[in-house]
Structure 1
Amino acid sequence: MKRIMTILVGLCIAMTAFAGPALAAEQSELGSVISKQEQQEVVNVAHRGASGHAPENTMSAFHKGVEMKADYIEIDVQMTKDGELVVIHDTTVDRTTNGTGDVGDLTFEEIRELDAGSWFGEGYAGEKVPTFEEILDTFRGKVGILIELKAPELYPGIEEKVADALTERNMERPNNDKIIIQSFNHESMKISKELLPSIPHGVLAGMSWADVTEEQLAEFATYADYFNPNMNIVTHELVSNVHEAGMKIFAYTSRTQEQADRLFQLNVDGIVSDFPEHVYYHPVKNK
């Protein structure tokens, strides 16, 4: 009997040794898969609304982002010739409407007459360029709003106008980070933070900030709560340094599941995506 047991033990050891490399490979492969828990910890930001599904920066895109259960919709705010705040990405209307010209050279009435949906699909013909106040009135309390001040250097006083619109609606108070303001113009964020000290602010960072130093991050942290970079410069080291500086990091702009998965693995706090379905929604997050 002892001899039989010895043989059986030997066989078990041999089988384990044989399976070891295969098991290790399987575990390694599984290790690269994003867990549901990891996805739940990442904030889902619908870029210009769910812009992979509807024309960017339109009410249809924002409603779609809410329908797809994004945590935030991201909007771009600019100012017309007559001082109205409108939501559009480019500093001209050429790409996303049937009009031409600079946003700042057109009146609100002129911009409002434009078709902002047909370029995306016939089913969106007649979509209008929305106003900032329309977005606030329609979506506050329903979804977080990530407000980007687009080229604020072209629109003197835009920070004050945004602050006034938020204050009129009692949205300038802390509300679980449901309002965030960001811009590539970091000086504008200093101005905005002084006007709205209770609202989190973020500095956007393009490819030129790939070598941002810890000292620069510490300086940003004196007025910003977020460092939001182009996803292509995000590394484990950058994420760690941003967190060490006391800020969070939302990476932009993911357009494929593979890109989103990479950002999950890098432990970013939020992913800005044209396709909210790529970023798992956690209904308890930020409540």
Structure 2
Amino acid sequence: MDRTDADGLFPRWIAHRGAGKLAPENTLAAFELGWRLGWRAFECDVKLSADGVPFLLHDATLERTTNGHGAAGARTWDELARLDAGGWHSPAYAGEPLLRLDRLAEWALPRGAWLNLEIKPSPGTEAATGAAMARAVEALWRAHGAGESGGPAWPLLTSFQPAALQAAQAAAPHLPLGLLLDHLWPGCWAVARGLGCVAVVLNHGLWTAALLAEQRAAGWRTLTYTVNDATRAEALLGWGLDGLITDRVDALGPGQPATA
């Protein structure tokens, strides 16, 4: 894996939704492509089916990235498993299914891939999703030796929804959490501190050198999304950013000039 932060917690380079835009996002095909391109750390979005199964999907609805319709969280896993989550991207991926969190763990953990799991609750299910995600992660990662000497690193659980993080913290207090921010709202740093977050993950346009220095001094690891420009990436890393999420898995990151 490319350089991690000082405590070995976070990789510097993280592939967005598996392989950026080169494969259908949040599918196993995307993670496999990202891996083949040399990436060893991945971000993805996780929500719950109507019957409580954690699975990967970004949107609240199914239309953009599957051949389904309506609210994703209103469907059982049996219904979701029948959908095509790849044909929207390109014919080569037609028939690619939605991905369950347990299947992703089975793929990632034996090969040493690190994950940033964004808790992406369907509207109104923030607490339920955060708690279920934390319990699932605890069981899946523990089964592979997480928490033991030489075991895999716990994933980072992030969310824009403080209620989801609060529920995750209550369900599994040892899991590392990060607050996602697309704007700086009043009290956001206090909320992150109250949740025991180890990281803050900001839209890259929010970071300045001064803000990054402030938050690092406050004791947080600093991450950002979604950086697709090499010049911006170099500036952020030069300021001391710990981790950067990108779609440009073919141009940035491992083995590319901006990784120095």
User: Which has more helix, going by share of residues?
Assistant: 1
Inter-partner Cα distance in structure 2 for 1:216 and 1:45: 24
**Amino acid of the structure 1 residue aligned with 2:236:** L
CA distance 1:176–1:110, change in 2 (3 Å): closer
Contact 1:248 1:269 in 2 (8 A): yes
**CA distances 1:166-196 after superposition (whole Å, capped 9, x unpaired):** 2323166376744110000023212212322
1:109: Cα distance to partner?
A: 1.8
The secondary structure found in structure 1 opposite 2:92 is: helix
1:77: Cα distance to partner?
A: 0.6
1:237: Cα distance to partner?
A: 1.2
CA distance 1:233–1:54, change in 2 (3 Å): same
Contact 1:228 1:249 in 2 (8 A): yes
- Equivalent residue number for residue 198 of structure 2: 225
- Equivalent residue number for residue 183 of structure 1: 159
Q: TM-score, normalization: structure 1? A: 0.76
- Equivalent residue number for residue 119 of structure 2: 149
Structure 2 counterpart of 1:269, from 219, 242, 253:
242
1:124: Cα distance to partner?
A: 0.5
What are structure 1's unaligned runs of at least 5 residues?
A: 1-36, 283-287
The secondary structure found in structure 2 opposite 1:249 is: strand
Structure 2 counterpart of 1:88, from 43, 57, 65:
57
**Amino acid of the structure 2 residue aligned with 1:94:** E
Inter-partner Cα distance in structure 2 for 1:201 and 1:152: 19
- Equivalent residue number for residue 99 of structure 1: 68
1:82: Cα distance to partner?
A: 1.8
Which runs of structure 2 are paired with 1:191-270 in the superposition (5 Å)? 191-206=167-182, 208-209=183-184, 216-222=188-194, 223-270=196-243
Structure 1 counterpart of 2:90, from 121, 135, 141:
121
Residue 68 in structure 1 maps to residue 33 in structure 2: no
1:136: Cα distance to partner?
A: 1.0
1:63: Cα distance to partner?
A: 1.2
- Equivalent residue number for residue 29 of structure 1: none
- Equivalent residue number for residue 19 of structure 1: none
**Amino acid of the structure 1 residue aligned with 2:205:** N
Structure possessing the higher radius of gyration over alpha carbons: 1
The secondary structure found in structure 2 opposite 1:46 is: strand
Inter-partner Cα distance in structure 2 for 1:43 and 1:278: 15
Contact 2:154 2:176 in 1 (8 A): no
**CA distances 1:81-135 after superposition (whole Å, capped 9, x unpaired):** 1221110000101100111110111121221111111111110010111011111
**Amino acid of the structure 1 residue aligned with 2:162:** H
Contact 1:81 1:106 in 2 (8 A): yes
Q: TM-score, normalization: structure 2? A: 0.83
Structure 1 residues 40-49 or 74-83, which shifts more? 40-49
- Equivalent residue number for residue 130 of structure 2: 159
Q: How many residue pairs are counted as aligned between the two chains?
A: 241
Residue 109 in structure 1 maps to residue 78 in structure 2: yes
- Equivalent residue number for residue 133 of structure 1: 102
CA distance 1:152–1:246, change in 2 (3 Å): farther
CA distance 1:44–1:263, change in 2 (3 Å): same
Inter-partner Cα distance in structure 2 for 1:150 and 1:271: 19
Inter-partner Cα distance in structure 2 for 1:91 and 1:260: 30
Contact 2:135 2:171 in 1 (8 A): no
The secondary structure found in structure 2 opposite 1:78 is: strand
Inter-partner Cα distance in structure 1 for 2:120 and 2:105: 17
Identity, in percent, stands at: 26
Structure 1 residues 272-281 or 196-205, which shifts more? 272-281
Inter-partner Cα distance in structure 1 for 2:74 and 2:236: 39
